[in-house]
Amino acid sequence: MNIHSFLIPSIIFHLLITSTYSSHNVDLSTDDVSINCGSTGIFPAPNGREWIGDIANPKSASFMQIKGHSTTSAATAKSISGDWVPYRSSRISRSRFVYSFHVGPGPKVLRFHFYPAQYKGFKGLEDLFTVQAGPFTLLGNFSASLAARALGVKSFAKEFCLFIHKNEQFNVSFTPESARSPDSYAFVNGIEIISVPENVSYFHNGDVGVQAVGRKSLVHIDRHTTLELVHRLNIIKESSVPAGGDLDDTFPMWDLRRAEKVKNRTWKVPVDVGFRYMIRLHISQMGLKIIARTSDYKVLINEAIALTNIDLENEPRNDWKRYYYKDYLVTMRGHKEEGKRRISISLHSLDELTVGLQLLSGFEIFKLTNPDNSLASPNPFPPPTQNPSSKTTRIFSSTFRSRNAFSFAALLVISIANIIAYKLRENLEAYNLARESDNNNNKPSAKAERLCRCFSLVEMQFATQDFNSGLIIGRGGFGKVYKGIIIIDRGCRKSVAIKRLKPNSSQGAHEFLMEIETLSELRHANLVSLIGYCNEHREMILVYDYMPGGTLADRLYRLRRMSGSCPPLSWKQRLEICIGAGRGLDYLHTGHGIIHRDVKSTNILLDENLVAKVSDFGLAKQEDMSKLQSHVSTRVKGTNGYMDPHYLHTRKLTRKTDTYAFGVVLFELLTGRPAVDLSLAEEEHILTIWARDRINKGEVEQIVDSSLEEEILPASLKTFVGISERCLREDPKSRPTMSQVVQQLELALEQQDSGPECLESNEVTSVGEERNSASNGQSPMADRHMADLEPSREEQTRRQAVTTTVVPPARRDERKRKPLRLWPWDAFWNRVKQPKKTSPLSDIGDEANIRATKYDWGMIAAATDQFSSNRKIGQGGFGSVYKGVLPTGQLVAVKRLKNDSTQGLIEFTKEIHYLPDLQHRNIIKLLGYCNHREEKLLVYEFMENGSVDTYIGDEVQCDLLQWEVRFKIIKGIARGLVYLHQDSGLRVIHRDPKLNNILLDSEMNPKISDFGLARTLAESDSQSETTRVAGTYGYIAPELFLTSKYSVKTDVYCFGIVIIEIVSSKRVVNWRRMNSYASGETKNFRGYAWELWKEGRVCDLVDERLERAYPEEEALRCVQVALLCTQTLPNQRPEMRTVLKMLEADEPLADPQETPPGNFLLARQYSTGSSSAATYELDDTLER
């Protein structure tokens, strides 16, 4: 093997400065050094250079000394073909030794050559050592044998760039890591020190510095920094290269065998985190001629624009000589435990001609020393006991000493087998590692990487005791699931579930990425939480919260069949489980437009309190919201027994596909049987066929789990069976939505809780009677409309009295539990859950616990054109909002808070802690933040259509809001509030969901924003008290003025006012002024709506600009819901989940109970005491 294929050429890269060219006639320093370690004499190299031995050589003695105890050794076998200098011999030792050089000052290239072979006198030991040059640590805990194995080579070189100061004795030390392994040694085969003239140095002392990617700031790389070459890629061969003199002899030309073909013009290079990197881009001669004429050309580094054709057009033309390059700096932030991340370099051009040309001739990546003057890799080093060759050698030695021939023969056979197995594994690992570096298909998006923790393989092995089979808690076609322990903040341990996917499955790779991308953005109390992932060495591992309750299938039938000791779930527990799972699916459908596609009992997990968590999103599919059709055409995937027949035949995937599968799960809950059971009689193999046949024959009691026979009430059973059958209808359009399913399941639970007293005497046999009346084989119950399954108006009124409490019915037994938390919220809960009071926050807390991206101040300032007034799109008491453009081209909204506002700091702190864990289609997305000195910036997704208040009440803009858009906005706000109150797992009270805080995207979808006044409630609390009544006049609920107590019902009141504003196109803040000026007295906005309601003139409230072009029934429903939401007494108002159902006509409307509007004294019957200490802070005129 020719050693030059591994000696990396350097002259073209190290002899160039930023944006300039080198001359061909540069004189090389005379004190360059090439040491052939462990040898005597002088050895010529093919490039004409001389390698000098370090043993008794007068020439080397004139500039070099060797200190410490060391020896020389030759490799036991010559396995390098071609040029063997300097790899035949080595300087080697089990103790520290130092090379002390006397060389001239200036910038130098320092290159070490390693050939990790078996050396005489050191067999059975392992190379593990640290290399230091002056004050810098170049290599730490370094093993040349492991490095060569990972590279798939026999020998290699490590190259560094540093500066030697005047009169400095340059010492290079090699120290074995005896503390880690008593059998360790250090060695080196060759050392090169090559001088680089000052005028072409890579240091940026005298020039303008290196451009930081994504920022306008420049960074100077001074003489107190050392660099390591970590990657060099040759893309094309230039038509001409430097020629003549010592330069060509010292630095070889480009090695074309290392050139890579460009396919997608994107390169991703894994590098260590926690370091800065200098990236040098070399522009080809063809590129210099064409790039300035192309219409649009960009080079992106880490998805940020680094170089464009405009940049080159602005460069002086006389600098465009033979070799042109640009330097850039990036910082790879992260903890050492994270291992490696990838630097991406990509080319983009809209010119088809330019696309076919190689505009880059190559690039280099250099690692810069950290503040500890170290370049050592932060990756954990494997323990020395993992070295099979060392074990084998010691076994042979002990065998020879014992002279036991029989034992020796046996051990010899075993050793040979081990060596063969080890070599096969070594080759396989090298092959996999090479494939991993070339194939980045398993790499999650940058956003997913930010939201999830990236574990190393070593961490996963430690967590599972090297994937101990005794820790397996599940297995399937995907692979195995282990119970593990990981280390979290401050050394605390956490139980997790670790899913290890089969590495040889291409489908597994797709599901692996789908799971990461999907779950990283989802936050719901009934969805399993993804903590992180690992994708090292071809492994695909997912880390979830551990669910002690196992799967629903385990609790229903698996454990009962295996041991018989598992107690069966009660009917009430089963109802609460399916309600929770249904809410999770409803959140997927309505909150994110995601179809799960594999809903089944094994994918519903249970925590220690039997709270259901939907899991396994490997087959999930995102709806295309830009298209009108309600289905997605796709290959059919799923599980037998749960497959939707319509999807199976048409390949059209819809939300109702999940509804069908959920219906199968409901029958599993009722019967205690799996979806498919081949151990039963043939007619009972398929659960749904058998169960529906029994129902049609009026034999419902025969399908009920025997453990439930004495427990389940007929009314609850009737409701449950009815909705289960509707889920299984052949036509997807006739199946209910998941929201409707949850509604009926909640009704079944309430009927079970209410007991027999709420039932009529003939309801006990009504189910069977209805089944016997079927004549066409179709269940009458399945044909009934949803309204027929709901209670009467009187019963609904009684039911509202139960459900208007803050805690939903499905969680009544959970009131004493601690609030649900989503990692990493533990530290934040300690701050926000203060008893009965709130104090201003002095800082933003531990930034390590913030899941939002931290942006650089310079990047945001550049994105907003230095916060130009032309970019300002909003202003208020908090500060100003600017439109910005990130280096990637993404539009953002930047909120710049006033630095002298205490409330502004509180708002900033809450948003960066709240919003990253609130993921919903109708909640604004926080992209990141910036905390720079006194400046506090929040960066959001940009909302093209502004806030709703800019339309309502505006004579021109209001015409854009047709009724369909208004109704869409109203329902979207309701969904967002339902998520905050009930489904996020945090029980967030917004406290100010007014029109100004409702933003509209390009498709007029509403997004709730501004969480500066938000609070959270524990599960055991129904309300909380505040010492400061904050909000906007007209939106504040009456009870806050009397009791200073807020609850989810304060948001409900505010939402009712918002509905009236949207329907009428009248603003509550303007209503008070206009009516006061017109008539001399102040009219109540809500009271005006109430008067029209009583007089039967609701249509007079609707905006007259609509000219009656709206469904009257929908408008009446909106006004009635608004009046129910704004009832004076909080316990009269419905919850937001009920409000949403009423808006969607899935819940009957009750008549609002009127307490005279504005007469707050009558509301004291609700109050348990007024708070005289409350402070009013009202926002009356602020327009955002």
Query: Looking at residues 1022-1036, what average pLDDT do you find?
Result: 64
Q: Residues of the chain with pLDDT > 70: what percent?
A: 68
Residues 885-924: pLDDT tens digits?
Answer: 988 888 999 999 887 666 667 778 878 877 887 888 899 9
Is the per-residue pLDDT at 541 higher than 80?
yes
* Residue with the larger pLDDT of the pair 497 and 434: 497
Is the per-residue pLDDT at 820 higher than 60?
no
Determine whether 1129 is exposed, middle or buried from the number of CB atoms within 10 Å of its CB (0-12, 13-18, 19+).
middle
Distance of CA 228 to the CA centre of its chain: 31
User: Which uninterrupted H or E stretch holds 908?
Assistant: helix 902-914
Q: Give the whole-angstrom CA distance, residue 703 versus residue 716.
A: 15
Instruction: Please give the model's pTM, rounded to 2 decimal places.
Output: 0.44
The answer to whether residues 1061 and 1000 touch, using CB atoms and an 8 Å cutoff, is no
- Nearest partner of 1155 among 1143, 1164, 1146, 1167, judged by Cα: 1164
SS3 for 293-323 is CCCCEEEEECCEEEEEHHHHHCCCHHHCCCC
Joined together, the tokens standing for residue 845 give 């807390």
Q: Could you say which architecture CATH assigns to the domain 442-546?
A: 2-Layer Sandwich (3.30)
pLDDT score for 20? 33
pLDDT score for 765? 33
Query: Looking at residues 297-308, what average pLDDT do you find?
Result: 81
3-state SS class at 1080: coil
Rounded CA Rg of the chain? 36
Q: Give the whole-angstrom CA distance, residue 513 versus residue 836.
A: 44
Residues 238-297: pLDDT tens digits?
Answer: 433 333 333 333 333 333 334 344 445 788 898 988 889 999 888 776 666 665 555 567
Is the per-residue pLDDT at 14 higher than 60?
no
Distance of CA 680 to the CA centre of its chain: 44
pLDDT score for 252? 39
3-state SS class at 951: coil
Residues 337-390: pLDDT tens digits?
Answer: 566 888 998 887 655 445 445 677 788 899 999 888 889 875 444 434 444 444
3-state SS class at 388: helix
Joined together, the tokens standing for residue 983 give 């489904």
Q: Give the whole-angstrom CA distance, residue 123 versus residue 745.
A: 72
Query: Looking at residues 116-140, what average pLDDT do you find?
Result: 89
Buried/exposed 302-313: b ≥16 CB within 10 Å, e otherwise: bbbbbbbbebbe
Is the per-residue pLDDT at 986 higher than 70?
yes
Q: Give the whole-angstrom CA distance, residue 1115 versus residue 1113.
A: 6
Residues 822-837: pLDDT tens digits?
Answer: 332 232 233 333 333 3
Is the per-residue pLDDT at 661 higher than 90?
yes
Is 598 marked active-site? Answer: yes
Mean pLDDT, the chain, rounded, equals 75
Residue with tokens 């009529």: 760
pLDDT score for 816? 36
First-to-last alpha carbon distance for the chain, in angstroms, is 70
Is the per-residue pLDDT at 394 higher than 60?
no
Query: Looking at residues 116-134, what average pLDDT do you find?
Result: 88
pLDDT score for 509? 74
Residues 1061-1093: pLDDT tens digits?
Answer: 999 988 887 765 555 444 444 457 788 888 888
β partners of residue 346: 266, 300
Residues 609-642: pLDDT tens digits?
Answer: 899 999 888 788 888 655 545 555 556 777 888 9
Q: At what angle do helices 655-671 and 571-586 cross, to 10 degrees?
A: 170
Joined together, the tokens standing for residue 364 give 């280099």
Other C-beta atoms within 10 Å of 321: how many? 12
pLDDT score for 44? 81
Nearest-5° angle of CA 207, CA 210, CA 211? 130
The topology (CATH level 3) of 571-790 is Transferase(Phosphotransferase); domain 1 (1.10.510)
The answer to whether residues 294 and 251 touch, using CB atoms and an 8 Å cutoff, is no
The answer to whether residues 174 and 186 touch, using CB atoms and an 8 Å cutoff, is yes
Q: Which of 32, 272, 598, 1051 is an active site residue? A: 598
Distance of CA 210 to the CA centre of its chain: 31
Can you state the percent helix, strand and coil of the chain, rounding each to 5?
35, 20, 40
- The dihedrals phi and psi of 263, each to the nearest 5 degrees, come to -110, -65
Is the per-residue pLDDT at 1169 higher than 50?
no
β partners of residue 543: 498, 532
- CATH (residue range 951-1179): 1.10.510.10
Strand spans (E) along 42-155: 42-44, 50-53, 64-68, 71-74, 89-93, 97-101, 106-114, 126-127, 129-133, 136-142
pLDDT score for 830? 32
The answer to whether residues 95 and 68 touch, using CB atoms and an 8 Å cutoff, is yes
Distance of CA 88 to the CA centre of its chain: 50
pLDDT score for 490? 59
Q: At what angle do helices 714-727 and 655-671 cross, to 10 degrees?
A: 140
3-state SS class at 422: helix
Do the annotations mark residue 1049 as ligand-binding? no
pLDDT score for 32? 83
Joined together, the tokens standing for residue 517 give 């991308």
List the single range of 268-272, 560-564, 1035-1039 with lowest mean pLDDT: 560-564
The topology (CATH level 3) of 29-196 is Jelly Rolls (2.60.120)
Q: Give the whole-angstrom CA distance, residue 295 versus residue 292.
A: 8
**pLDDT confidence bin for 1171, thresholds 50/70/90:** very low
Is the per-residue pLDDT at 942 higher than 60?
yes
- Nearest partner of 280 among 240, 218, 330, judged by Cα: 330
Any residues with CB less than 8 A from the CB of 649 and at least 6 apart, and which?
none
Any residues with CB less than 8 A from the CB of 311 and at least 6 apart, and which?
none
pLDDT score for 150? 82
Strands 1028-1032, 1175-1179: pairing kind: parallel
pLDDT score for 760? 38
Which residue type is seen at 977?
A: L
**pLDDT confidence bin for 669, thresholds 50/70/90:** very high
Q: Which pairs with CB-CB distance under 8 Å and at least 24 residues apart come from 834-839?
A: 836/1024, 836/1025, 837/1027, 838/1015, 838/1026, 838/1027, 838/1028
Q: Give the whole-angstrom CA distance, residue 926 versus residue 938.
A: 7
Residues 172-231: pLDDT tens digits?
Answer: 999 998 877 778 999 999 999 988 766 556 665 545 678 888 777 778 787 888 999 998
- Nearest partner of 125 among 425, 389, 383, judged by Cα: 389
Q: Give the whole-angstrom CA distance, residue 979 versus residue 988.
A: 9
Residues 142-180: pLDDT tens digits?
Answer: 999 888 888 888 899 999 999 888 888 899 999 998 877
CA distances from 488 to 335, 449, 548, 882 (A): 13, 17, 19, 37
Is the per-residue pLDDT at 131 higher than 90?
yes
pLDDT score for 21? 33
- Nearest partner of 519 among 591, 624, 615, judged by Cα: 615
pLDDT score for 362? 83
Joined together, the tokens standing for residue 533 give 């992932």
Which residue type is seen at 1176?
A: Y
Residues 46-82: pLDDT tens digits?
Answer: 667 789 999 877 777 778 899 999 999 887 766 566 6
Q: Give the whole-angstrom CA distance, residue 239 versus residue 340.
A: 36
* Residue with the larger pLDDT of the pair 61 and 105: 105
Is the per-residue pLDDT at 578 higher than 90?
yes
Q: Give the whole-angstrom CA distance, residue 724 versus residue 718.
A: 10
Q: Give the whole-angstrom CA distance, residue 986 versus residue 945.
A: 29
Any residues with CB less than 8 A from the CB of 304 and at least 6 apart, and which?
213, 214, 886, 887, 888
Q: At what angle do helices 793-803 and 738-754 cross, to 10 degrees?
A: 90
Is the per-residue pLDDT at 416 higher than 70?
yes
Is the per-residue pLDDT at 1108 higher than 70?
yes
Query: Looking at residues 1120-1128, what average pLDDT do you find?
Result: 92
The answer to whether residues 200 and 15 touch, using CB atoms and an 8 Å cutoff, is yes
- CA 996, 1001, 1007, 1009 dihedral sign is negative
The answer to whether residues 265 and 347 touch, using CB atoms and an 8 Å cutoff, is yes
pLDDT score for 349? 67
Joined together, the tokens standing for residue 812 give 């009544």
- CATH (residue range 826-941): 3.30.200.20
- Nearest partner of 1059 among 1033, 1086, 1084, judged by Cα: 1086
The answer to whether residues 584 and 527 touch, using CB atoms and an 8 Å cutoff, is yes
Do the annotations mark residue 652 as ligand-binding? no
- CA 699, 700, 703, 709 dihedral sign is negative
pLDDT score for 234? 80
Any residues with CB less than 8 A from the CB of 462 and at least 6 apart, and which?
none
